[in-house]
């Protein structure tokens, strides 16, 4: 790079103007959020402070100040970090120039500062390093990128007045005259934010929201942060903010928070009431296959509470506190959200605020997305694992009066289930009581435990058209459990009524016969779950197995019970529908 003796640098003279303008446009367009300027400023300032503390063991604490002036639409960022040396300052606005080498530093691309300089029409950088202050100024950059005005000139003044003579090193960057037109109509204009909103933005989307605290990792260097907003009304608001990520728990009373371990203990002690309605949070560290750490911070609460918090802080739409998978790296939030996962209970995601921190992330220009698909996939898997661990606790955080809200959000979930049910083979019987698990090819999850389950199962089978019977009556207050009807001749529509009896174990019909509760001869169908053929044979019955689909038999029957003809009883045989066998055949 050539510099003229007056320390003026023509905006990147070594290439033709159009090529630079093109590159400048690319940089501007690669940024997607209206708060990116704050992101880049904060990141450079925090890096500079970390570098300073690494260099100087006597350095106690960083000082960082962010000022937003709503009147001249300017942003100023001050830090007492390392500062920029005289040779470097001439290069800092060159796209892709970065003097950062340390792996722990956040900046890497060398475009952040260039972006800041291009966003407005008045850029100033005053810095001190090695006891010497220097100042860089650039005017009209935004106009020039937009095709108006001539190529801007970068002035570097090496005889600058030291604005903070007591400090050994510092940097103050300010960009003013950020045009309103740089903000799209529907986008958030950061010059409309009050101090609380701004503090929230800085603590959730920029390097000022140090995420290490969530995992008990202290920062490389303490930083005292002051935020100022010069309002349109002439009021100046000032607020000190901690150098810490603002998780939703930040805004909550500690009494309404509970850790996951506490939740587990309470539930194990049968003290559900101590958990109900509380927000649950915890942190956990996972290891990747390459032995790298993925840190997860998880917070669970009701959608109602997220809304409440957002309303209390008067957060604009783009800044609302809500569930999601937020990505952080090297102690800072990135502003990147992973898409919600398609897990079984997708309807729970709005309740889950998950922050995943992974240091080996590479981001695209403008830090909008993670570049490596494998990293995205790996993080998605970790998120799914967290989800599986906590899914069962979500219900405790949901407020009772939240019914309608949850109902609305769970419409999608319901639709998914309906589709799944429709695709199920024949019918699904779901008994939530514990019991022996069935083979995986079963269309239902638990074996029936008693007669009532068999009735439910058979009714579902009818409803699904598995058997051609019509159900006339099911009742326990008559001698027979059930009356069915079967159309035996489709042309004449001739229908016959059938007496049916439900049993959990088919052979227990013997007891009914003994006690004369049921009369053999009147009973036509026995519907049961299991059938002990030996017991029946010992009692004198003939038990014939029926091949599926045998024409002469009643539909669905698996067995036929009859007395030997020598018994001189001319009764009709009883058809048996042994459901466990029907299901085995069909699935
Ligand atoms: N506040 C600051 N204090 C000291 N040096 C700074 C400061 N801001 C910028 N710099 C210097 O300017 C260089 C360019 O900054 P820039 O933000 O463009 O790039 P970066 O931070 O290295 O990478 P990235 O594009 O990822 O932000 C930095 O590498 C650093 O040397
Ligand atoms: Mg940077």
Which CATH number is 315's domain given? 3.30.230
369 close to 340: Cβ distance less than 8 angstroms: no
Same domain, 101 and 218: yes
Q: For residue 42, how far is its CA from the centre of ligand 1 (angstroms)?
A: 10
- Nearest CA to 462 among 432, 484, 431? 484
Give strand pairing partners of 63.
Answer: 224
Is a pLDDT exceeding 70 seen at residue 435? Answer: no
Structural domains counted in the chain: 3
| 344 and 493 housed in the same domain | no
- Give the chain's largest Cα–Cα span: 127
User: How far is Cα 572 from Cα 584, in angstroms, rounded to an integer?
Assistant: 27
What domain range includes position 265? Answer: 248-401
> Is the minimum distance from the CB of 208 to ligand 1 under 6 angstroms?
no
Whole-number pLDDT of residue 191: 95
Q: How far is CA 379 from CA 204, 327, 344, 371, 409, in A?
A: 19, 9, 18, 13, 25
Looking at ligand 1, which atom is closest to the CA of residue 367?
26
324 beta partners: 353
Could you tell me which residues are beta bridge partners of residue 62? 223
Atom 29 (ligand 1): residue with closest C-alpha?
Answer: 98
Token code pair at residue 428: 């699904």
Measuring CA to CA, how many Å separate 122 from each of 173, 190, 379?
11, 18, 40
Helix (H) or strand (E) holding 136: strand 132-139
Distance of CA 156 to the CA centre of its chain: 47
Note whether residue 383 is domain-resident. yes
pLDDT value at 183 more than 80: no
The token duo for 127 is 């810095």
Query: Per the domain annotation, does 493 fall within a domain?
Result: yes
- Same-domain status, 318 and 382: yes
Q: Which of 178, 198, 313, 169 lies closest to 250 in space, CA to CA?
A: 313
Return the closest-CA partner of residue 17 out of 147, 161, 191.
147
SS3 146: coil
Task: Record the tokens describing residue 390, joined without a space.
Answer: 């906590």
Query: What letter would DSSP give residue 377?
Result: H
107 close to ligand 1 (CB < 6 Angstrom): yes
In this structure, the residue with its CA closest to atom 21 of ligand 1 is: 107
Show which of 386, 401, 416 is a domain's final residue. Answer: 401
Q: Output the CA 108–ligand 2 centroid distance in Å.
A: 7
Is the CB of 206 inside a 6 Å radius of any atom of ligand 1?
no
Nearest bound ligand to CA 115? Answer: 1
Give the CATH number of the domain where residue 55 resides.
3.30.565.10
Q: Where is pLDDT greater, at 576 or 514? A: 576
Q: At residue 6, does pLDDT exceed 90?
A: no
Q: How close are the terminal C-alpha atoms of the chain, in Å?
A: 76
The more confidently predicted of residues 75 and 447 is: 75
Integer Cα distance of 211 and 388 in angstroms: 23
442 lies in a domain?
A: yes
Is residue 587 one of the residues assigned to a domain?
no
CB-ligand 1 contact for 195 (6 Å cutoff): no
In a domain, 89, yes or no: yes
Alpha helix segments (H runs only) across 5-104 = 17-30, 36-55, 86-89
Residue 521 tokens read as: 């001869």
pTM: 0.70
Tell me, rounded to whole angstroms, the distance of Cα 39 from its chain centroid: 23
Confidence grade of residue 34 (pLDDT, cut at 50, 70, 90): confident
Residue 328 has pLDDT above 90, yes or no: yes
Burial of 335 (0-12, 13-18, 19+ CB in 10 A): buried
In the listed set 186, 214, 241, which residue is the last one of a domain according to the structure? 241
Select from 31, 44, 366 the residue to mutate for testing ligand 1; criterion: most ligand atoms less than 8 Å from CB: 44
pLDDT at 444: 66
pLDDT band at 564 (very low <50, low <70, confident <90, very high): low
Once rounded to an integer, what is the mean pLDDT over residues 330-340? Answer: 92
pLDDT at position 434 over 60? no
**Together in a domain, 310 and 381:** yes
Interhelix angle 112-119/36-55, nearest 10 degrees: 140
Q: State in Å: Cα 43 to ligand 2 middle.
A: 6
Q: Are residues 106 and 172 in the same domain?
A: yes
Q: Give the closest residue to 389 by CA, choosing from 216, 264, 214, 257.
A: 264
Residue ID of nearest Cα to ligand 1 atom 8: 44
Q: 395 and 435: one domain?
A: no
Q: Is 100 in the pocket of ligand 1 (CB under 6 A)?
A: yes
Residue 82 Cβ < 6 Å to ligand 1: yes
Q: What is the pLDDT of residue 227?
A: 98
Cα 85–chain centre separation:
44
| Residue 420: predicted pLDDT | 72
Provide the pLDDT for residue 445: 66
Nearest ligand to the CA atom of 100: 1
The whole-chain average pLDDT of the chain stands at 86
Q: Report residue 583's pLDDT band, with 50, 70 and 90 as the boundaries.
A: confident
Residue 489 pLDDT: 83
**Residue 255 and residue 210 share a domain:** no
Tokens of 567: 């018994």
Q: Which segment of 28-42, 94-108, 149-163 scores lowest on mean pLDDT?
A: 94-108
β-strand pairing of 494-505 with 525-530: parallel
**Distance from the alpha carbon of residue 40 to the mean position of ligand 2, in angstroms:** 5
Query: If you measure from the C-alpha of residue 113 to the centroid of ligand 2, how many angstroms do you get, rounded to a whole number?
Result: 6
Place of tokens 């240091």: 359
Cβ contact 120:141 at 8 Å: yes
Q: Is the CB of 62 under 6 A from ligand 1?
A: no
Give the residue with greater pLDDT, 49 vs 4: 49
User: Is 84 close to ligand 1, i.e. is its CB under 6 Å away?
Assistant: yes
Mind listing the pLDDT tens digit for each residue in 527-537?
Answer: 999 999 999 99
Mean pLDDT of 289-300: 94
**Regarding predicted confidence, which is higher, 218 or 12?**
218
Residue 332 lies in a domain: yes
Of residues 286, 258, 260, 251, the one with CA closest to residue 357: 286
Lowest-pLDDT range of 65-79, 363-377, 418-432, 543-557:
418-432
Q: How many A from CA of 499 to the centre of ligand 2?
A: 83
Tell me, what's the pLDDT at 584? 67
Residues 342 and 476 in one domain: no
Q: Give the pLDDT confidence of 370-423 residue by residue, as tens digits.
A: 989 899 999 999 999 999 888 888 888 876 555 434 444 455 566 766 777 777
Ligand 1 proximity of 114 Cβ (cutoff 6 Å): yes
Kindly give, in sequence order, each residue whose CB lies less than 8 Å from that of residue 381, ignoring residues fewer than 6 positions away: none
Q: Among candidates 415, 335, 305, 398, which has minimal Cα distance to 36?
A: 335
**Are residues 172 and 160 in contact, defined by beta-carbon separation less than 8 angstroms?**
no
Contact of 528 with 581, CB cutoff 8 Å: no
Look at residues 93, 112, 106, 108 and name the one whose alpha carbon lies nearest to residue 46: 106
- Whether pLDDT at 210 is above 60: yes
Residues 486 and 573 in one domain: yes
Among all ligands shown, which has an atom nearest to the Cα of 84? Answer: 1
Q: In the beta sheet, which residues pair with residue 127?
A: 134, 171
pLDDT at 514 (0 to 100) = 76
Mean pLDDT for 478-482 is 80
Are 376 and 423 members of one domain? no
Residue 122 shares a structural domain with residue 200: yes
CB 586 within 8 A of CB 444: no
**Helices (runs of H) and strands (runs of E) counted in the chain:** 16, 22
Whether 105 lines ligand 1, by a CB cut-off of 6 Å, is no
In this prediction, residue 479 carries a pLDDT of 74
Is residue 74 within a helix (H) or strand (E), and if so which, with residue range?
A: strand 74-79
Residue 298 lies in a domain: yes
Out of 369, 401, 433, a domain closes at 401
The pLDDT of 122-127, averaged and rounded, is 97
- Asked if residue 194 belongs to a domain, the reply is yes
> Does residue 470 sit in the same domain as residue 339?
no
The neighbouring-strand residues paired with 123 are 138, 175
Inter-residue contact 476 to 502 (CB < 8 Å):
no
**What confidence tens digit (pLDDT) does each residue in 441-469 have?**
566 666 788 898 899 889 888 888 888 99
Q: Are 440 and 432 spatial neighbours (Cβ–Cβ below 8 Å)? A: no
Cα–Cα dist 390/21, whole Å: 50
At 239, which helix (H) or strand (E)? strand 236-241
Rounded to 10 degrees, the C-alpha dihedral 368/373/375/376 comes to 60
Ligand 2 centroid – CA 104 distance (Å): 13
Pocket test for ligand 1, best of 113, 168, 362 (most atoms within 8 A of CB): 113
pLDDT surpassing 50 at residue 4: no
Q: How confident is the model at residue 587 (pLDDT cuts 50, 70, 90)?
A: very low
Question: Burial code of 174-207, b = ≥16 C-beta within 10 A, e = fewer?
Answer: bbbbbeeebbeeeebbbbebebbbbbbbbbbbbb
pLDDT for res 403: 45
Question: Does the C-beta of 94 come closer than 6 Å to ligand 1?
Answer: no
């Amino acid at each position: 790079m050539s510099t003229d003796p007056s320390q003026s640098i023509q905006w990147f003279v070594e290439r033709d103007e159009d090529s630079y303008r093109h590159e400048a446009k690319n940089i501007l367009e690669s940024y997607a959020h209206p708060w990116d300027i704050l992101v880049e400023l904060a990141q450079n300032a925090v890096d500079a402070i970390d570098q300073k503390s690494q260099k100087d063991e006597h350095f106690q604490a960083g000082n960082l100040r962010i000022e937003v002036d709503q009147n001249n639409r300017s942003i100023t960022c001050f830090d007492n970090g390392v500062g920029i040396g005289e040779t470097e300052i001439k290069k800092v606005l060159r796209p892709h120039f970065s003097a950062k080498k340390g792996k722990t530093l956040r900046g890497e691309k060398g475009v952040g500062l260039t972006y800041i300089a291009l966003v407005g029409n008045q850029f100033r950088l005053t810095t001190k390093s090695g006891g010497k202050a220097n100042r860089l100024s650039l005017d009209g950059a935004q106009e020039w990128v937009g095709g108006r005005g001539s190529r801007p000139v970068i002035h570097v003044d090496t005889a600058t007045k030291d604005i903070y003579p007591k400090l050994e090193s510092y940097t103050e960057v300010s960009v003013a005259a950020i045009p309103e037109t740089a903000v799209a109509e529907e986008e958030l204009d950061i010059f409309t934010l009050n101090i609380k909103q701004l503090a929230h933005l800085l603590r959730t989307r920029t390097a000022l929201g140090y995420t290490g605290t969530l995992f008990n990792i202290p920062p490389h260097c303490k930083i005292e942060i002051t935020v100022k907003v010069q309002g349109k009304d002439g009021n100046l608001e000032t607020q000190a903010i901690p150098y810490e990520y603002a998780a939703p728990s930040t805004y909550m009373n500690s009494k309404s928070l509970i850790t996951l371990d506490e939740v587990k203990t309470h539930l194990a002690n049968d003290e559900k009431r101590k958990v109900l309605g509380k927000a649950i949070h915890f942190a956990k560290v996972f290891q990747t296959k390459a032995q790298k750490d993925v840190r997860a911070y998880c917070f669970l609460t009701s959608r109602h509470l997220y809304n409440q918090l957002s309303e209390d802080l008067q957060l604009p739409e783009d800044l609302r506190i809500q569930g999601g998978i937020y990505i952080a790296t090297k102690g800072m939030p990135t502003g990147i959200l992973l898409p919600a996962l398609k897990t079984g209970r997708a309807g729970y995601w709005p309740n889950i605020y998950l922050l995943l921190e992974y240091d080996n992330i590479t981001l695209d220009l403008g830090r909008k997305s993670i570049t490596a698909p494998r990293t995205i996939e790996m993080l998605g898997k970790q998120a799914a694992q967290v989800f599986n661990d906590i899914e069962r606790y979500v219900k405790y955080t949901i407020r009772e009066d939240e019914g309608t809200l949850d109902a609305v959000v769970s419409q999608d979930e319901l639709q998914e289930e309906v589709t799944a049910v429709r695709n199920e083979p024949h019918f699904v019987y779901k008994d939530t009581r514990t019991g022996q698990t069935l083979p995986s090819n079963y269309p239902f999850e638990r074996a029936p435990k008693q007669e009532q389950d068999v009735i439910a199962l058979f009714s579902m089978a009818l409803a699904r058209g598995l058997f051609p019977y019509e159900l006339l009556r099911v009742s326990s207050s008559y001698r027979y459990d059930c009356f069915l009807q079967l159309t035996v001749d489709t042309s004449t529509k001739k229908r016959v009524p059938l007496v049916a009896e439900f049993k959990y174990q088919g052979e227990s019909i013997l007891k009914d016969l003994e006690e004369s509760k049921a009369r053999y001869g009147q009973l036509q169908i026995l519907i049961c779950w299991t059938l002990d053929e030996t017991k029946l044979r010992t009692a004198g019955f003939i038990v014939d197995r029926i091949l599926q689909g045998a024409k002469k038999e009643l539909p669905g029957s698996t067995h036929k019970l009859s007395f030997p003809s020598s018994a001189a009883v001319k009764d009709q045989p009883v058809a048996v529908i042994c459901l466990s066998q029907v299901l085995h055949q069909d699935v």
